[in-house]
Amino acid sequence: MVARTGSAVIVGVRARPVTVEADVSSGLPGMTVVGLADAAINEARDRVRAAVQHSCAEWPRTRITVALLPSSLPKRGSALDAAIAVAVLAAGRQVPSEAAARVCVLGELGLDGRLHAVPGVIAAALAVRGRSGLRLLVPEANLGEAMLVPDLDAGGVRDLDHLIAILRGDAAPTDASPQPLADPLTSGPDLADVRGQVEARSALEVAAAGGHHLSLIGEPGAGKSMLATRLPGLLPPLGDEAALEVTAIRSIAGQLAPGDGLWRRPPFVAPHHTASSVAIIGGGQAGRVTVGAITLAHRGVLFLDEAPEFARSVLEAMRQPLEEGEVRVARADLSVTLPARFQLVLAANPCPCGRGLGDGADCSCSSVQRRRYSARISGPLADRIDLRLQVRRPAAGALGDDGESTAVVAERVRQARERMRARWHGTAWQVNADVPGPALRRDWPAEERATSILSRAVARGALTLRGADRVLRVAWTLADLADRVRPGSDDIARAIALRGPEAA
């Protein structure tokens, strides 16, 4: 007899439904698994058999064929164990096949029959949500995670005996206890700790409001990391769907602790410059896609400290995600698109010796060394960076200045974002940093006097046309923060200053 049940596998950061079919027929005892199974699934045969033998049910002593469909989908990992057991038991008439057909089961089986947690449960829950009459059964340790997805019929399972009892109608799945949600919005470093950095704090506010990519150039110890780590706190908290997406990515990467709530705060990811290209961009072996730092930073901030030390190929590979908000990872057997819409913050020393800011009187680098150093980041990414800030160590007297707190600045950012949302309503753009220069120049010009300042700067060669577009984008953000209908000449002057001294 043939029986089937549902499960799911993770491809990239999404779950794809899988049907597990089992056929129990007369013949020599043995079990074959077909459907592009990797080594882990072949190991699953032994785990599933041992688990069933430790349960109240009997292992069919005949010929068993298990098919994992669609067969074209590469499958890996142990999350299909429980579904394979259910299909085999249903085909062997140990549990009702109608009950087996109405569930989607995830979980790795221990040899003793216990159901162990698996990564990617939120993604699977998102895939199952909305399919009526289908109940998601997950290991108890994953239940809190599944319950983060609303409108879902989900239950927890302790072990194989519990699963069999549920399918026979003799027991109920474990109910989700209300999650003690960790509120990530109350944590995080505060902007008030950054003393005496008036310019830098203000640039950070502009970056947060307009979604502008930012570079911080300054000597070691000037406070570049301190500034960067405070950016996520200034960004608006993630909405429901974005929070699910970001939390699902963490679950797939195995970075979600039991009891963790939804990620409401935009993530902050800071890969080291020695990290591999796969760790930063994503990639990996056939059928096994590793999520990189740029995907972990999706809807948040990617901070590259000592940016010129990153491999040129890695910086080059960021160009596509910066433009498209996603990265394509092509493997021999599968091409996967991973989300990667992040706000980039680069930090660098002004030169290899670190002392070349301003007049660079103490700098010991040659002009060739300095040029090569800054070219490493300005080459591949320069076009995408609207704000270039020079960060200096605050003067001793300025340390007493009381700066505004994260909460105060975040509120101004929220209001500026609302003005942007109203203006870009009906377009594909969310924040000013998304808007292409030609569209801005044509349809949303600055005040007349401001526009002529910009045109003159371009005419005398002080700004390239692309540079002028970046200035216009930032000027709009300054106007939004100050609640002006359109940028004036002060906004343009300030935006030119925020663009920094670097050549475009």
Per CB under 5 A, residues contacting Zn ion are: 351, 353, 356, 363, 365
Cα distance between residue 51 and residue 111, in whole Å: 5
Q: What is the gyration radius of the CA atoms in the chain, in angstroms?
A: 28
Closest CA to 421 of 202, 267, 209: 209
Nearer to Zn ion, 136 or 351 (CB): 351
Chain centroid to CA 85? 33
339: tokens are: 């989300």
Nearer to Zn ion, 365 or 463 (CB): 365
CB nearer to Zn ion: pick between 353 and 457: 353
Question: 229: closest CA among 263, 194, 257?
Answer: 194
Cβ proximity to Zn ion: between 351 and 504 the closer is 351
Helix intervals (H) in 325-435: 367-381, 406-424
HEC string of 423-486 equals: HHCCCCCCCHHHCCHHHHHHHCCCCHHHHHHHHHHHHCCCCCHHHHHHHHHHHHHHHHHCCCCC
3-state helix, strand, coil in the chain (%, to 5): 40, 20, 40
What minimum distance in Å lies between the beta carbon of 349 and Zn ion?
8
Given the complex with Zn ion, which of 274 and 366 has the nearer CB atom?
Answer: 366
d(CA 383, CA 315): 13
User: Measured from the CB atom, is 41 or 363 closer to Zn ion?
Assistant: 363
What is the secondary structure of 137-178 as a DSSP string?
EEEGGGHHHHTTSSS--EEEE-BHHHHHHHHHTSS-PBPPPP
- Which CB sits closer to Zn ion, 251 or 390? 390
- Nearest CB to Zn ion, comparing residues 15 and 351: 351
**Angstrom distances, CA of residue 395 to CA of 197, 400, 404:** 9, 10, 18
The residue (of 86 and 365) whose beta carbon lies closer to Zn ion is 365
Nearer residue to Zn ion within complex by CB, 331 or 392: 392
Give which of 143, 144, 137, 145 is closest to 163, Cα–Cα.
137
As a whole number of angstroms, the distance between CA 146 and CA 274 comes to 35
What is the number of alpha carbons within 13 Å of residue 422 lying toward its C-beta? 8
When the beta carbons of 363 and 479 are compared against Zn ion, the nearer one is: 363
Q: How far is the CB of 375 from Zn ion (least distance, A)?
A: 15
CA distance 72 to 334: 10
Q: Is 324 within 8 Å of 283 (Cβ atoms)?
A: no
Strands (E), 160-261: 213-218
At closest approach, how far in Å is the CB of 357 from Zn ion?
Answer: 9
Tokens 């043939």 appear where? 2
By beta-carbon proximity to Zn ion, the closer residue of 375 and 485 is 375
Closest CB 388 distance from Zn ion, rounded Å: 18
CB 11, CB 47: distance < 8 Å: no
Token pair in block for residue 236: 């608006």
Q: Cα separation of 155 and 173, whole Å?
A: 5
